[in-house]
Amino acid sequence: MKKNTKLVLIGGIALTTIVAIGFAFKNKLFPKKWKFLDNFYSKSVIPEASTGVGFIGEMEPPFKAGDTVKVVQDEGAKYSGYDGETVIGGVAQIKEGENTGKWVVDVPFAFLGNTPVNAGTITLV
């Protein structure tokens, strides 16, 4: 094998390794986050929702059903039981009514009761 061919081959392997490591650490360095506006009765949008507890936001979430996430409500939330790690049950966009166009993320938390507005962030784990 010629010297130039060996250098190109080694360079290609090194570049592939760097890219692979970058993808492996991407979520740790730049985690996918979604800001929600409030908790929300998700069964009104996702009929197969497990418990009906969900979160509503303006932007499309960067998650899908089955992803493990961490929910953190902003300070002063009524029920801290809605905070913590969980698995997303579903994601859907509201098609009609006053929240048309907003997005809902369903989670299997136990329903704890009605609350005032509780915004927060969901982060992919």
Range of the domain at 3: 1-30
Q: Specify whether 68 is located in the same domain as 81.
A: yes
Q: Specify whether 42 is located in the same domain as 20.
A: no
- If one counts the domains in the chain, the total is 2
How far, in Å, CA of 58 to CA of 36, rounded?
A: 7
Q: Which residues pair with 54 in a beta bridge?
A: 40, 106
Q: Specify whether 86 is located in the same domain as 102.
A: yes
Q: Specify whether 60 is located in the same domain as 5.
A: no
How far, in Å, CA of 61 to CA of 103, rounded?
A: 7
Q: Specify whether 58 is located in the same domain as 119.
A: yes
Q: pLDDT tens per residue, the chain (125 residues)?
A: 676 666 666 766 756 666 556 555 555 567 899 999 999 999 889 888 888 899 999 999 999 999 999 999 999 999 999 999 999 999 999 999 999 999 999 999 988 888 999 999 999 99
Q: Phi and psi for 55 in degrees, rounded to 5? A: -135, 145
Q: Specify whether 14 is located in the same domain as 69.
A: no
How far, in Å, CA of 23 to CA of 28, rounded?
A: 10
End-to-end CA distance of the chain: 45
pTM, 2 dp: 0.76
Q: Specify whether 61 is located in the same domain as 99.
A: yes
Q: Phi and psi for 112 in degrees, rounded to 5? A: -105, -15
Q: Specify whether 7 is located in the same domain as 43.
A: no
How far, in Å, CA of 113 to CA of 55, rounded?
A: 14
List Cα–Cα distances, 56 to 7, 14, 18, in angstroms. 53, 43, 37
Q: Specify whether 37 is located in the same domain as 25.
A: no
Q: Specify whether 2 is located in the same domain as 41.
A: no
Q: Specify whether 119 is located in the same domain as 76.
A: yes
